[in-house]
Amino acid sequence: MSYSGVIAHSEQSAASSGTPITDADGAYFVVAVNFGAEKYAGLNGAQAVSKMAQLSLDPENRFIRYDYRANRSVREAMTHALRFFAAGLALCMGTAGQADTVSERLDRLVRAYPRALAGHDERYLYWRDGTRMSVGEPEERKSFDDLLRRASILDQLSLSYPQGDAKPPAVNADPGRFRNEAFFKKMYGDCSRGEVSANLVSIVWLPSTWGKTIRVTRMNGVADRLKQVSEEIDALDPAIKRAAYPIAGVLSCRPVADTGAMSMHGYAAAIDLNQSYSDYWLWKAKSKTILYQNRMPRQIVEIFERYGFIWGGKWYHYDTMHFEYRPELLDHKRSGE
């Protein structure tokens, strides 16, 4: 779907005029959005998309309203409004490369885990042991917190994982952080009951450089893929691969700090690299706006992604030492082999 978004008041003109539109809730600048036409003066949507943040979009008049409050400068308010606009377009238009239909999304999931999953009928996911699992309602609206804590199977496929170099993500663009616990416990076991430990195997991480043994799940070929990741990182320049050791952990039967939902570490399907090279949003968060930071080398990220691991550095709530096996978000061709 093509679009043209137009901001009625540019940042410069808003700062000079200082003319808000006021309602009972407070003072707002109004940003008009027009799809499929380019007849308004101002900043077009493609330019605004580079200023990503969160959106409040009124479906009645397609206005974006940002409350700038008395203690904020007009310029600051308009800057945030532009950033709100960009993230909203990403959420409303759909992100590049994302499957358009429920069937296509579930097809990707089945392709990613062929040893465990037999198929789907768009309402249920069918496991090879005969288990039938609801995928959730495709049109169900949930808050961001609900998505983090109570995601359906469809929810966990709802955000497209970005390809290419890391860029500061839009607000709450966290592809992979929506996880359906029933799905992953069925796949890997419940760590609180000792079910994950039964499937752990040992691999040597960076045998020519660090040479320590780590324990990781064998399910879905995760251990085999992590071994291949290790071999490729081991061949990198010493200054680059230093970010990959010593590792901070693999199996940890614990919830995610800000959600209470089980971490992928609880399934031994995730690895945290050298904490000295890590940036984590909760360590940095001092205000409502999260400033993106990253020191993890691009070469290491690319290796993990080739083998079906997504990177926490591509989340708005970033965790740059974190990698987890989620081939459904990469539609990885070698998954399940």
Domain residue ranges in the chain: 6-93, 161-329
Instruction: Compute the mean pLDDT over every residue in the chain, rounded to the nearest whole number.
Output: 76
DSSP result, 103-131: HHHHHHHHHH-TTTEEEE-SSEEEETTS-
Position with higher pLDDT, 260 vs 34: 260
CATH class of the region 161-329: alpha beta
CA distance 190 to 262: 10
Residue with tokens 């358009």, as numbered in its chain: 100
**Bond preceding residue 246 cis, omega within 30 of 0:** yes
pLDDT per residue as tens digits for the range 96-135: 344 469 999 999 999 999 999 999 999 999 999 999 999 9
Which pLDDT value is given to residue 286? 64
By the 10 Å C-beta count (0-12 exposed, 13-18 middle, 19+ buried), 332 is classed as buried
pLDDT at 68 over 70: no
Q: Summarize pLDDT for 281-308 with one digit per residue, the tens.
A: 988 766 678 889 999 999 999 999 999 9
Cα gap 10→155, rounded to integer Å: 35
Q: What percent of the chain stands above pLDDT 90?
A: 60
What is the rounded distance in angstroms from the CA atom of residue 28 to the CA atom of residue 70?
Answer: 11
Weakest mean pLDDT among 17-26, 128-137, 304-313? 17-26
Question: Which of 105, 114, 106, 109 lies closest to 336, judged by CA?
Answer: 114
Q: Residue 262 — φ and ψ, nearest 5°?
A: -65, 135
Mark 258-275 as b/e (b = at least 16 C-beta within 10 Å).
ebebbbbbbbbbbbbbbe
- Mean pLDDT for 46-52 is 35
Compute the CA torsion angle 82, 87, 91, 92 (nearest 10 deg): 10
pTM of the model: 0.71
Distance in angstroms (rounded) separating the CA atoms of residues 186 and 94: 29
Strand partners, 7: 43
Enumerate residues 6+ apart whose C-beta is below 8 A from 77: 14, 29, 66, 68, 69
Helix, strand, or coil (residue 190): coil
Assess whether pLDDT exceeds 60 at residue 333. no
